[in-house]
Structure 1
Amino acid sequence: MKVYFEKSDSTFLQGIAILLMVLLHLFAFPERVPEYVSVVNLIDKQGQLLTTIATFGHICVSIFVFVSGYGMQFSEMYTNYSFVDKVDKSFKRGILFWGRYALQFLIFVPMGVLLGKLDNISVSQLLKAFMGQECGTINGEWWYVTLYLKFLIVFPFISLGIEKIKNVSFKIVYYFVVGVISIKVLGSYGLLFVVGIMCANFNLINRLSCCFSREKIGKYVPLILIAVGGV
């Protein structure tokens, strides 16, 4: 059976997400633009249309979340990893991700302290943020760091339940329960993370793609799922 949603497609989606994220942070918050900066807009002189379009860039988070869930599950579907192996793999992913974040933290946080931008932040808050907890208190744009680390923590447990349940009907019920719990624990993005895992587990991308006459059209099914979940 051909798999339509491959790593190259995942990279393609992540590229779209990055472009949307840049668009979002550049034009969706006009109040953040200093008065001495002028934005030349040849299409919409008032800038309202551009701001409205840029606001749609919020879906970039949904794309990252869906791809994360899908990728984690798909990478382990054809392996014989034990639960300990899954935990070890998530731990290594977390260390790699945290290392990149820590590098940014060590560069930009001292700059913020020297410029007086973090005067209201306590030492305990700085330490928590450095360890990946409540990162949004230091930089509002770093809130996703904590969320992704939580995904890495819960994934081995979700994956363990998937392996233990063989009956398809029971597995659907399991996903429903896990989805509800994820909303309570991780917020709405937790549900989209579980949807990504479920799509990989049931090979839904391939199944839905078969409904289209052209393979290239079928590859955009993930975008439909993400759009619905991200709204």
Structure 2
Amino acid sequence: MELEMERKVLNKKISTYLKAIAIVMMVFHHFFAFPDRLLQEDLYTTWNLGGGKPFEQLIGEMCKLCVCIFAFISGYGTYISFKKYERFRERIIYCLKKIFKLVGMYWIALLCFFLPLLALFQKVTFSQVVSNVLLGSNSMMHVAWYVRFYIIALLVLCLYSALENRKSSWIFDVVMCFIVPIALDVLIPGNEISHYYPIFMLGYIFSKYNLYERYESFIKSNIARSAASIVVLLGLLVLRLKIGDMICHVSMITFIGPVFCYVLAFVLKWIAKCRWIEKILLFLAQYSIWYWFLHAIFHEGILPIQKIGYLPHNIFLIVIWVFIILTPVAVLLQYIYKACLKCIEVVFIKNIKINK
């Protein structure tokens, strides 16, 4: 299974690099794509282009593809894991472990970081804490919606895999990828599931049918393949600017995502040959989930904290600064998370011995 993964275009190493780039894009997106979230003017030096939106806002909006990258590579890797766990019961256990890991990290970030800071500046009620812990609300951490999405998307894909084993067909894949989310969006407009589930499912499909590998076997030349991919990507980006974010209830990032991931993977394969760049990418990827949660604190409606995030004023230095100040927190929370897992493991083993 490991050998098969390494033969994939999006192998384990490339997927790790993509996570690192995605988290950098996410920070840029949340810090500069939403000027209305700023609690004070002049928090940073804007780059005006002589009309229209400023440079940093345009780049920030393009960086919306960050969630798309995470969703796509999650779906891509899920198929490979499902091949390893052929029984439905094994797949359920695998999915529950993945969910428990993400939810556990979310709880640690919420209770050990967000709750103390928010309580210093705002009134936080017990019911609000309970609602956020149970993922019924994301009022304390606005990025927590993805945790809900991931739980639902992974379980739906797990249930679908049981049906897929009985009668595998690309028609079923298309229905699951587009028809179901479209129907859901018609019934519940603007829901987060129908917006990102297609790209999650598309990652699963690309892995299942080896679409990247087939593309590379069809166009042998690296230069021609890269040029064609960039042309398609630019065409899709222009199309998005022309028609907007949605087309027939399907987000444009669904179509842009796979092409963008492929182009980015090709670029990263060469850039990461530089040892120090690879080390930075691996480090960012290692703590990417923590960075995802933690950076949201700068846009939870607390001016003193927001000022700290925008302290350097230069848009690029702000992004670097955010990672610098959040890294010690991420490392500490990772330590707490592992300590909690160790305690749970000790208690669990102890209970087993008592029962025996």
Q: Is the 8 A contact 2:199 2:254 kept in 1?
A: no
Residue identity opposite 2:60 in structure 1: A
Shift of 1:64: 0.8
> Does the CA contact (< 8 Å) of 1:4 and 1:209 recur in 2?
no
Aligned residues: 220
In the alignment, the residues of structure 2 paired with residue 38 and residue 126 of structure 1 have an alpha-carbon distance, to the nearest angstrom, of 30
Q: Is the 8 A contact 1:70 1:199 kept in 2?
A: yes
Shift of 1:195: 1.0
Q: In structure 1, how many angstroms separate the alpha carbons of the residues matched to 2:85 and 2:117? A: 46
Query: For residue 61 of structure 2, what is the aligned residue in structure 1?
Result: 55
Using the TM superposition, give the Cα deviation of residue 142 of structure 1 relative to its aligned residue in structure 2, in angstroms: 1.9
Q: How much does 1:31 deviate?
A: 3.0
Task: Write the mapping of 1:48-197 to structure 2, written as runs, cut at 5 A.
Answer: 48-77=54-83, 79-107=84-112, 108-116=114-122, 118=124, 123-131=126-134, 133-166=135-168, 171-179=169-177, 180-183=179-182, 184=184, 186-197=193-204
Change in Cα spacing, 1:192 to 1:23, as seen in structure 2 (3 Å) is same
1:91–1:152 CA contact under 8 A, matched in 2: no
Structure 1 vs Structure 2 CA RMSD: 3.0
Name the CA distance, whole Å, in 1 between partners of 2:40 and 2:139: 26
Cα gap change, 1:31/1:173 in structure 2, threshold over 3 Å: closer, same or farther? same
1:40: which partner in 2? 45
Unaligned runs of 5+ in 2: 186-192, 237-252, 261-356
What is the Cα deviation at residue 100 of structure 1?
0.8
* Contact kept in structure 2, 1:73 and 1:200, CA below 8 Å: yes
**Secondary structure of 2:147's partner?**
helix
Would you say 1:201 and 2:208 are equivalent positions? yes
The one-letter amino acid paired with 1:86 is: R
Name the CA distance, whole Å, in 1 between partners of 2:137 and 2:217. 42
Shift of residue 43 of structure 1? 7.2
Counterpart of 1:23, as a letter, is F
CA deviations on 1:153-176 (whole Å, 9 max, x unpaired) are 22211222222224xxxx111112
Between Structure 1 and Structure 2, the one with more helix by share is 2
How far is the alpha carbon of 1:124 from its aligned partner?
A: 3.9
* Whole-Å separation in 1 of the counterparts to 2:79 and 2:66: 20
CA shift digits 1:199-218 (9 cap, x unpaired)? 11111111122233345856
The separation in 2 between residues aligned to 1:154 and 1:125, in whole angstroms, is 28
Amino acid at match of 1:102: W
- Equivalent residue of 1:134, what SS? coil
Using the size of structure 1 for normalisation, the TM-score is 0.81
- Describe the shift of the 1:177–1:208 C-alpha distance in structure 2 as closer, same or farther (beyond 3 A): same
| Structure 2 counterpart of 1:9 | 14
Q: Say whether the 8 Å CA contact 1:59–1:227 is kept in structure 2.
A: no
Structure 2 CA distance, aligned partners of 1:19 and 1:211?
Answer: 33
SS of alignment partner, residue 136 of structure 1: coil
- Output the CA distance in 2 between the equivalents of 1:164 and 1:109: 47
Could you tell me how far 1:6 is from its partner in structure 2?
A: 0.9
**CA 215–12 in structure 1, closer or farther in 2 if over 3 Å, else same:** farther
Local SS of the residue matching 1:26: helix
* Cα distance in 2, alignment partners of residues 201 and 80 from structure 1: 15
Q: Matches of 2:171 and 2:128 in 1, distance apart?
A: 39
Q: What secondary structure sits across from 2:138 in the alignment? A: helix
C-alpha separation between the residues in 2 aligned to 1:155 and 1:99? 21
The 8 Å contact of residues 33 and 60 in structure 2, kept in 1 or not, is answered as: yes
Distance 2:121 2:218 in 1: 57
Q: In the alignment, which residue of structure 2 is the partner of 1:228?
A: 255
Q: Structure 1: where are the runs of 5+ without partners?
A: none
3-state SS, counterpart of residue 181 of structure 1? helix
If the length of structure 2 is used for normalisation, what is the TM-score?
A: 0.55
**CA distance in structure 2 between the aligned counterparts of 1:174 and 1:56, rounded to whole angstroms:** 31
